Structure 1
């Protein structure tokens, strides 16, 4: 498959540069990889996105309104960009919290995925530079730039967009974080994924906050938004919807039929801190900032921070006290 010399490995025979890049991505720990041609977003996609943002359904996430020229044209993010390599990494945990404990979304169990995915993407760029195109210029992202990553995930063929808004990887499920590597090397694009959910409405029917319907998704109702992005105190109705969710919500994923294929990640950086499994409502009452750091340092929970986490904790504990 490869010819190795003192400088590089080059494609030979039936194995293309795309084959080599995909093989390396899998070796680096990615679960799926697809390639799309870098080009401006179609007008209908731009209009749909703008309509959603203007509707107010994204709440205080003002960053979604900014940098539209970058968001709608990846060649603005990287001059001379010809290809977008879309990547997915499995975070489904091999061990889970007790169901009665204050729940943390699975993606936040281990090390912050932004750093993990970007680091691996940078390694893939280095591989391309050393083995495919020594002059390549690239930029890697993991939910860290104004790019419509779910659009590109579909365009590259790695998955399709479910009614929940989540990207569903065929025969793998939804428990994946996404990343993109923009490069100036021209690669053969993969076919877009045109699959759809069909008549299934399990994510709609089971959403505890009714944030999903056939017309789309309202982030301001979503429990992930309420526990992570929102800074206001939670009202009684919102607290009632939370159940025992402390950070995020995995309900739409847990009920998705495609997640019957979910396999526990082997990625060591996504393994949970053992202290997480000791978290209970009793010790949540007395959780100070030092204890918070011991449990959640280096994870995505830093998005909410100690103050944000304790805001949700107060709502949960108040609700439990009323029951008692």
Structure 2
């Protein structure tokens, strides 16, 4: 099994799964075609994620999750135009976005399971940290950050709002699987952690709880707001205003000519 096999497996699963359609919302399609990338399990950037200013010392290396790990498969599931457009309105998250956030992540969980089964059937050892009993989030810091893993794999860079900007924008969900298959790493076409962000400030104006400033994002303010949304719309929650109605919603933003 090579990169093309893995990419095709992910693409076909998302584009054909009935879980990618929300019937009660007029057959709403949650995701468009995914992006897939691969990082070497021993990439030095994984070690650097243990720094306090990155994710933190609790962040586990691929080899700590899976002894003998050779590669990390990372993917980005971009929300459909209908999900994104619905969330352009100001105020609380659109119903379509709430379904995309929760039902969309449920689909991502099933995708991980599908990918693991296929890899294991091909004779590989594979695991998904977010599905493992060791996975934990303490004081808003996890021991496996899907966004940071996506950065290492070359999928995108961070924005002022701490979202990830990919070739298909920032509105979507990330996931990953670790495998002992020696897949060839995909290119990482950037050097800086925020290289794709133009610092235009559009996300600052979009943020309902005012968690974003020119200095960055206050994760505690954002998290407290999401708790209030959950209390109102349980079992669903979400916001995504900083990922929609902004230049980086569905593409890498174009920098203004200086």
TM-score with structure 2 setting the length: 0.68
- 1:33–1:88: 8 Å Cα contact kept in structure 2? yes
Matched, 1:179 2:175: yes
**Which protein is bigger by CA-based radius of gyration?**
1
Residue matched to 1:21: 6
Residue matched to 1:86: 74
Take 1:125 and 1:261, find their aligned partners in 2: how far apart are those partners?
A: 29
Take 1:185 and 1:161, find their aligned partners in 2: how far apart are those partners?
A: 28
Take 2:54 and 2:88, find their aligned partners in 1: how far apart are those partners?
A: 38
Matched, 1:210 2:210: yes
Residue matched to 2:243: 253
**Runs of at least 5 residues in structure 1 that lack an aligned partner in the other structure:** 1-9, 11-16, 52-67, 234-245, 263-324
Matched, 1:112 2:99: no
Question: How many residue pairs were aligned?
Answer: 213
1:79-122 Cα offsets, whole Å, 9 max, x none, are 22111100122334636489699645654315533431121122
Take 1:98 and 1:47, find their aligned partners in 2: how far apart are those partners?
A: 35
- 1:18–1:187: 8 Å Cα contact kept in structure 2? yes
- Say if 1:198 and 1:98 are closer, same or farther in 2 by CA, change over 3 A: closer
- Say if 1:99 and 1:212 are closer, same or farther in 2 by CA, change over 3 A: closer
Matches within 5 A, 1:255-270: 255-259=245-249
Which protein has the bigger helix share? Answer: 1
Matches within 5 A, 1:189-228: 189-194=185-190, 195-222=195-222, 225-228=224-227
RMSD of Structure 2 on Structure 1 (CA): 3.5
Take 2:245 and 2:89, find their aligned partners in 1: how far apart are those partners?
A: 15
Residue matched to 2:39: 36
TM-score with structure 1 setting the length: 0.55
**Runs of at least 5 residues in structure 2 that lack an aligned partner in the other structure:** 15-32, 136-142, 253-258
**Which stretch shows the higher mean deviation, 94-103 or 22-31?**
94-103
Matches within 5 A, 1:102-181: 103-104=93-94, 106-110=96-100, 112-130=103-121, 133-134=122-123, 136-142=124-130, 145=135, 146-170=143-167, 172-181=168-177
